[in-house]
Homo-oligomer: A and B are copies of this chain.
Amino acid sequence: MAKFSRTDNCKNCVDCNKKIPLFQLLSQSELTDLNTSRFEVKFKAGETIFKQGTSATHLLIITSGLAKFYVEGVQERQLIIRIVKPWEVVGQASLYFDNRHHYSVAALVDCTACFIEIESFKKMIRQNSAFAEEFITQCTQKGVFSYEKMVSLSQKQMHGRIADGILYLSKKIYESNQFSLHLSRQDIADLTGMSKDSAIRILKEFHHEGIIELDGRNLNVLNSEQLERISETG
């Protein structure tokens, strides 16, 4: 894991907090409180931000860049649970469980990461019930997302899973039909639970059928309705 090193980039915290709905529920003094325990680190593409199994002392907010949130499965394989965008709070699972990271997070591109000390965060949960409620909301949303992902992984065939993966990236992450993909083919395979070769094959198929246009890492979703259909039929 990259060493934490204090930087002075985190000067615009008030502005930063405006972007995180959860933090809007905090008072000025609570914000100040949280800020004192906060620091920023830059990561290069490929670097590990959280490593599964290490002890969890901080929560993470990516303020720029993109990262993958994954668990290390059997035989060195990775399962990408989700992609982490800026302003998303990462590390809930470690807060009250056993202070271990049960997943890894790695930068897909150069990232700026903000670390928040867990105890300060817990203090907010205790003293601000609106904050606690919003936090619970986010946990439960992730729970429902997990159920859908389990269905996709276990009941859909490769075409359906790739369709799910593309729709997820296009709708939830890049919020556009056309984008420059930051995931390798192996990453897409790890996101959809299949081998790299199979992922490549299905992507090519979708390309040839005119559902997507994929040239290197430039992805253009041409027919999202059909992707939805493929996703539903499995």
Contact = CB atoms under 8 A, between A and B. Distances in A.
Interface string A58-71: 00000000000001
A147 B69 CA distance: 11
Contacts of A1: none
A133 interface: yes
B125 A156 contact: no
Interface string A93-134: 111110000110000000000000000001001110100110
B92 A140 contact: yes
Interface of A: 71, 73-75, 77, 79, 81, 92-97, 102-103, 122, 125-127, 129, 132-133, 135-137, 139-144, 146-151, 153-156, 160, 193, 232-234
Contact of A144 (B102, B125, B135, B149): B102
Nearest to A160: B74
Contacts of A81: 147, 150
Given A74-B151, A79-B150, A154-B79, A92 B125 contact: no
B155 A193 contact: yes
Contact of A146 (B126, B146, B232): B146
Contacts of A160: 74
Contacts of A102: 144, 147
14 contacts: A71-B148, A73-B154, A73-B155, A74-B234, A75-B234, A79-B151, A79-B154, A79-B155, A92-B143, A96-B133, A97-B140, A139-B139, A139-B143, A155-B193
Nearest to A132: B132
Given A71-B151, A79-B150, A150-B150, A96 B126 contact: no
A41 B103 CA distance: 40
Given A73-B155, A97-B137, 5 more contacts: A79-B150, A95-B140, A97-B144, A127-B129, A155-B193
Given A97-B144, A151-B79, A136 B139 contact: yes
